[in-house]
Amino acid sequence: MSYETFYQRSINDPEAFWAEQARRIDWQTPFTRPLNYDNPPFARWFCGGKTNLCHNAIDRWLPSQPEALALIAVSAETGEERTFTFRELHAEVNRTAAMLQTLGVSRGDRVLVYMPMIAEAHITLLACARIGAIHSVVFGGFASHSLAARIDDARPVLIVSADGGSRGGKVIPYKKLLDDAISLAEYPPKRVLLVDRGLAPMQCVAERDVDYATLRAQHLDAQVPVVWLESSETSCILYTSGTTGKPKGVQRDVGGYAVALATTMATIFGGKAGGVFFCTSDIGWVVGHSYIVYAPLLAGMATVVFEGTPTWPDCSVWWKIVEKYQVSRMFSAPTAIRVLKKFPTAQIRNHDISSLEVLYLAGEPLDEPTASWVTETLGIPVIDNYWQTESGWPIMAIARELSDRPTRLGSPGVPMFGYHVKLLNEHTGQECAANEKGMVVIEGPLPPGCIQTIWGNDERFVNTYWSLFDRPVYATFDWGIRDDDGYYFILGRTDDVINIAGHRLGTREIEESISGYGNVAEVAVVGVKDAVKGQVAVAFVIPKQGDSLLLRDVAQEEEQAIQHRVDDQIGHFGRPARIYFVSQLPKTRSGKMLRRAMQAICEGRDPGDLTTIEDPNALVEIRRALGE
């Protein structure tokens, strides 16, 4: 079946289409109705069916491949490597499930996981799924104030954490952050389960804090039966930033999520039982949540849990893993590739990565220079894909297992099955023609695996995502354009648009132009208030000359050359008013650029909540460049 036929079936007859895809997982009780959309925009998938994510990830593989690798946990920070077969992972998940039950966790209870990228984090999530508890992952090292807000929203009965994590050789003590968050929270948990890695000192609270290893030793022979859940029951809450400052808890179901991920592994990511899937994200971000914790195991593949950065202790660290464990599929972010781009390619090519068949990239737009560099360096196909925390899996990509459609540089591809994507004019709400910029929207119902609602706030779900236009469509808040062949190009967030003397430009358009200049390793563009033009573009550029900054006279020449390039490619109205050369750019731990913080600093404003920033020194660097 061609992808075009596959896609059209998902749009024209979604109930029949998804009923077929549901055969990819096990159901304890068959569903009676594929879709209930009687109360739009709330969609319920596979109504009446009972299933379990943990069963489908582990138990169903035990008869056919019990000794196949299931989990590979590698810490470049501590040098520790641990592997688990499906049989061994099943035993560990049973032990942890028994531990959770001992601590009072039952079906429907929330368990907040605040952990580094270690095996216990992954095992805890699977154990929650096994007993029907709802897990909420907050990435490790998140600041106390923001962590407290998530505790109060989810109201967990238990938090699972650790003494600390490590990133780039620097220990991050979690316990103090967690204790401060609990003291700030209005609804603190009754119990805290702690993994002691010996990285940071911990002060345990009597009657509340429990040692993971001690409790595990009491449940070594535990056998915990799977709790079968109705498909629409909640599996997890994953928080994403909200425009009001209060985080949005993206609520996801059980059956729809399992079916969607299983389908993507078969059609987009080429997952085959016995293979190894290496997603370099964090389980606290949606890419890691979907494609580290669940999707590879649903396909019978081993999944890699990696603690570290792409350049610590050197830039060969990922490729050692690829070589040692024969990784066949890899998933990362453009930011990480741009970081690697600054280092000698010999450190990649010195390793045998012949097992690696495809690299997938997501999390932000993939610029053409980075795509070209990584394709040439690795010698394999590089597949961009576009999605959001809310969608849970790709909205746009190239489904290589169903289509020989070529990739197109700068484009994440075409809409994936189930997503009825449109581009709408922000003012008129009318559909855009080819090569006309509009907002990317999705007609309801959203396909399985997507956001059900905002946890505890249906009204906010409707008002945030479904009320922007007169017609019932989900707003992504991303600008896009579609070419004559149906390929989409994402031009940045609608709130990242710069209005320069009446010309509306996405920051992505200017960044694309600048990134193609020979001495640019990475770039971020922001719109800054201007008394005459309304806004002007300001660019911050990391030159390829390592971390050393350009000399003043050279910098002036480079700035002028870059400005001329933008003039030529976009027009004089897109020319950055200033280009500053810096050694690093402020990003979140997931790799997203903190453009709003840079914009605020340029305008002399408070940059706001910076709890997600990876390295605060990056903001110091921005201020230095501005002469502050």
Structural domains in the chain? 3-308+385-478 (3.40.50.12780), 501-625 (3.30.300.30)
Q: CA torsion, points 112, 388, 430, 43, in degrees to nearest 10?
A: -50
What are the pLDDT digits (tens) for 469-488? 998 999 998 889 999 999 99
Residue 300 backbone class (left: φ over 0; alpha: ψ -120 to 50; beta: rest): left
Q: What pLDDT, on a 0 to 100 scale, did the predictor assign at position 159? A: 98
Q: What distance in Å separates the CA atoms of residue 439 and residue 25, rounded to the nearest whole number?
A: 35
Q: What pLDDT, on a 0 to 100 scale, did the predictor assign at position 531? A: 66
Q: What pLDDT, on a 0 to 100 scale, did the predictor assign at position 370? A: 87
Q: What distance in Å separates the CA atoms of residue 321 and residue 622, rounded to the nearest whole number?
A: 35
**DSSP class of residue 587?**
B
Q: Residue 94: which of 137, 126, 133, 52 has the closest Cα?
A: 126
Q: What pLDDT, on a 0 to 100 scale, did the predictor assign at position 448? A: 98
Ranges of the chain with pLDDT below 70: 141, 241-245, 495-497, 499, 501-506, 531-532, 545-553, 569, 571, 573
**pTM > 0.75: yes or no:** yes
Q: What distance in Å separates the CA atoms of residue 249 and residue 262, rounded to the nearest whole number?
A: 23
Report yes or no: 162 and 123 within 8 Å, Cβ to Cβ. no
What are the pLDDT digits (tens) for 278-321? 999 999 889 999 999 999 999 999 999 999 999 999 899 999 99
